Amino acid sequence: MTSLLSIPLTANLPYRHIDDVFIDGQWQVATGTGRTLVTNPATEEVWGSVPQASVADLDQAVAAARRAFGGWRDLAPTARAGFLLRLADEVEKRAEAISHTNTWENGSPVAESGRAAGNAASIFRYFASLAGLLETADIRPFPDGSGETVVRQDPIGVCALIAPWNFPINLVVAKLAPALMAGCTVVIKPASPTPLSVRLIIDAARAAGLPAGVVNLVTGPGSFGDALVRHPGIDKVAFTGSTPVGRSIAGTCGQLLRPVTLELGGKSSALVLPDADLDSLSKVLIRTCLRNTGQTCYISTRILAPVERYAELVDMVTATIAAAKQGDPMQPDTVFGPAATRAQEQTVREYIRSGVAEGARATTGGDVASGFDQGFFVKPTVFADVTPGMRIAREEIFGPVLSILRYNSLDEGVALANNTSFGLGGTIFSEDPDRAFALAGRLDTGSVGLGFFASNHAAPFAGRHDSGLGAEFGPEGLKAYLVPQSVHRRIR
Ligand code: NDP
């Protein structure tokens, strides 16, 4: 048994037990009664807590965002871009505290959380670079030549940003940066397991001089998120999280005719072609298929292998996963950490049990002891002989579990990849780039990686079907915070 209780307290954790929320440019004591505890998933130690804000706090936060909206909207886009660039610099100054707080909240290895600040800064800088798009006049003549229309792009207004726990910084910043660039003001609600790391983004925003009320942060449970979505002062909702909660938010926004962007779950496939180079695949396997201990929405957790290379592929995947270090997420060489929460650990174990019960063959891992005497660890597991009807082949597990299925013909491989209610990511592994590119068009999914997967801030990240509505990143992600206004005029 490995004990992690000895993790030294050298972590850079500026926030632990706090009482306040951020409203109208100030930290102020929340007036709600409950508290949410923050647990280190590697040690099970409760090391922090935040208040559950009241409806009165929520009203204040939305009102502050509403008051700030006019002034922020009326700034020139280049002036807003200047704030975003300063914010990027301030986030980078806080990189270590962001990384350590993130790791203590959700168990992401520091090799992962250590990139959070740099990635966030790069998202702010990318959206700052789009200021020109908001300044370019879009003038369209009437087809009969009788006049012209100036198409203006107005910011939508006050936005509710609701984030999950798997990437607590970047999934906030992916919404915050385009919202601010567009001229919107925001109220952020982080996930309950990860409410502290995002405070460092607020600190960065203050240091960057953002006007009071432009960014507000409130904490509370899922029901509080629901109250935020329904609040009459909210003009748009941006959400990342599970498909069931996304569906419920979509229903509410449908009733209210409130614009909404939803980034939801996934069950993506790695389609391995017969000519694939398995050595190259092994080098990107974990990043592509089990990033962040399998807690990433777009990863290719189903590997589709041609029957003639099935055994070889199973051996390579098994050996690669079995050799990767699992353990203390604060160690730089740790690849797999614990599950983020006890509930997530139990969910993943239940899926592993279902795989065994339905006849899949665990080639490493399985429902065995984790080898740690505390923490929410689940042994990384590879299942071979998976068939399309099994739950592990169909449902999002959100843990370190891979399923390997076999196909006989490329058409069957494509059909298997598309045999899912989701449509988020996917990868193709082939030594023939033209063939792989052509094949990407046959996958019914918002993004496809050829030989690797990474999201690009300059390109849309958009889920199809049960994976969501709308897009984040790219000019499309900025547009999600804008509404057009057509001003018709005669040509003089
Ligand atoms: P949820 O969808 O439950 O939570 C995401 C965010 O929404 C959290 O901030 C949560 O708050 C909030 N929330 C919960 N209920 C509501 C509601 N009715 N109205 C508005 N906001 C609400 O995801 P979980 O974090 O519980 O994860 C469960 C599963 O979701 C995972 O196992 C995984 O399959 C999937 N998931 C997918 C993600 C992705 O990136 N695609 C990300 C995270 C999870 P609170 O935390 O306080 O409940």
Give the lowest-confidence range in 19-28, 55-64, 85-94, 364-373. Answer: 364-373
Q: What is the pLDDT of residues 428-477, one digit of tens each?
A: 999 999 999 999 999 999 999 999 999 999 999 999 999 999 999 999 99
Q: For residue 15, is it within any domain? A: no
Which residue, judged by its Cα, is nearest atom 26 of ligand 1? 242
Percentage of the chain surpassing pLDDT 70?
98
pLDDT at 341 over 80: yes
Whether 175 contacts 238, CB under 8 Å: yes
Is residue 199 domain-shared with residue 315, that is, in the same domain? no
H/E stretch holding 316? helix 310-323
Is residue 368 domain-shared with residue 431, that is, in the same domain? yes
- Measured from the CB, is residue 226 less than 6 Å from ligand 1? yes
Q: For residue 190, is it within any domain? A: yes
Query: Tokens representing 85?
Result: 């660039």
- Measured from the CB, is residue 191 less than 6 Å from ligand 1? yes
Q: For residue 491, is it within any domain? A: no
C-alpha 140 – ligand 1 centre gap (Å): 42
- Measured from the CB, is residue 234 less than 6 Å from ligand 1? no
- Measured from the CB, is residue 249 less than 6 Å from ligand 1? yes
Is residue 107 domain-shared with residue 143, that is, in the same domain? yes
Residues pairing with 360 in the sheet:
none
C-alpha 245 – ligand 1 centre gap (Å): 6
- Measured from the CB, is residue 396 less than 6 Å from ligand 1? yes
Is residue 318 domain-shared with residue 254, that is, in the same domain? no
Residue with tokens 């959100």: 398
* Type of residue at 178: P
Which residue, judged by its Cα, is nearest atom 27 of ligand 1? 242
Ligand 1 pocket test: pick from 39, 242, 455 the residue with the most ligand atoms within 8 Å of its Cβ: 242
Sign of CA dihedral 350, 354, 357, 360: negative
Count CB neighbours of 277 within 10 A.
12
How confident is residue 52, by pLDDT bands cut at 50, 70 and 90? very high
Ligand 1: nearest atom to the Cα of 397: 34
Which residues are part of the catalytic machinery?
Answer: 263, 297
Is residue 251 domain-shared with residue 398, that is, in the same domain? no
Is residue 152 domain-shared with residue 56, that is, in the same domain? yes
Whether 355 contacts 378, CB under 8 Å: no
Residue with tokens 């590997």: 303
Full residue range of the structural domain in which residue 44 is found: 20-264+467-486
Q: What is the pLDDT of residues 155-173, one digit of tens each?
A: 999 999 999 999 999 999 9
- Residue 226's nearest CA partner among 253, 199, 202 is 253
- Measured from the CB, is residue 261 less than 6 Å from ligand 1? no
Between CA 311 and CA 486 the distance in angstroms is 60
Ligand 1: nearest atom to the Cα of 266: 41
Q: For residue 372, is it within any domain? A: yes
3-state DSSP helix/strand/coil % of the chain, to nearest 5: 40, 20, 40
Between CA 46 and CA 268 the distance in angstroms is 34
Is residue 158 domain-shared with residue 303, that is, in the same domain? no
What residues contact 104, with CB distance under 8 A and at least 6 apart? Answer: 11, 13, 38, 40, 47, 48
Whether 412 contacts 235, CB under 8 Å: no
* Type of residue at 117: A
Looking at residue 8, its pLDDT comes to 55
- Measured from the CB, is residue 398 less than 6 Å from ligand 1? yes
Is residue 345 domain-shared with residue 377, that is, in the same domain? yes
- Measured from the CB, is residue 104 less than 6 Å from ligand 1? no
Q: For residue 326, is it within any domain? A: yes
Between CA 213 and CA 221 the distance in angstroms is 22
Q: What would the DSSP string read from start to end of 93-126?
A: HTHHHHHHHHHHHH---HHHHTTHHHHHHHHHHH
C-alpha 243 – ligand 1 centre gap (Å): 8
Whether 364 contacts 290, CB under 8 Å: no
C-alpha 242 – ligand 1 centre gap (Å): 5
C-alpha 402 – ligand 1 centre gap (Å): 22
* Helix (H/G/I), strand (E/B), else coil: 239: strand
Ligand 1: nearest atom to the Cα of 344: 32
How confident is residue 7, by pLDDT bands cut at 50, 70 and 90? low
Looking at residue 137, its pLDDT comes to 87
* Helix (H/G/I), strand (E/B), else coil: 54: coil
Is residue 284 domain-shared with residue 251, that is, in the same domain? no
Looking at residue 280, which CATH number applies to its domain? 3.40.309.10
Distances (CA, A) of 34 to 22, 107, 195, 201: 17, 24, 14, 24
Mean pLDDT, rounded, for 10-31: 97
Whether 112 contacts 106, CB under 8 Å: no
Whether 13 contacts 210, CB under 8 Å: no
Q: What is the pLDDT of residues 215-235, one digit of tens each?
A: 999 999 999 999 999 999 999
Distances (CA, A) of 139 to 142, 272, 323, 485, 488: 10, 47, 59, 12, 10
Q: What is the pLDDT of residues 360-403, one digit of tens each?
A: 999 999 988 899 999 999 999 999 999 999 999 999 999 999 99
pLDDT at 6 over 90: no
Looking at residue 123, which CATH number applies to its domain? 3.40.605.10
Q: For residue 2, is it within any domain? A: no
Between CA 336 and CA 107 the distance in angstroms is 9
- pTM comes to 0.97
- Residue 463's nearest CA partner among 422, 419, 428, 417 is 422
C-alpha 385 – ligand 1 centre gap (Å): 31
Is residue 145 domain-shared with residue 108, that is, in the same domain? yes
Whether 313 contacts 347, CB under 8 Å: no
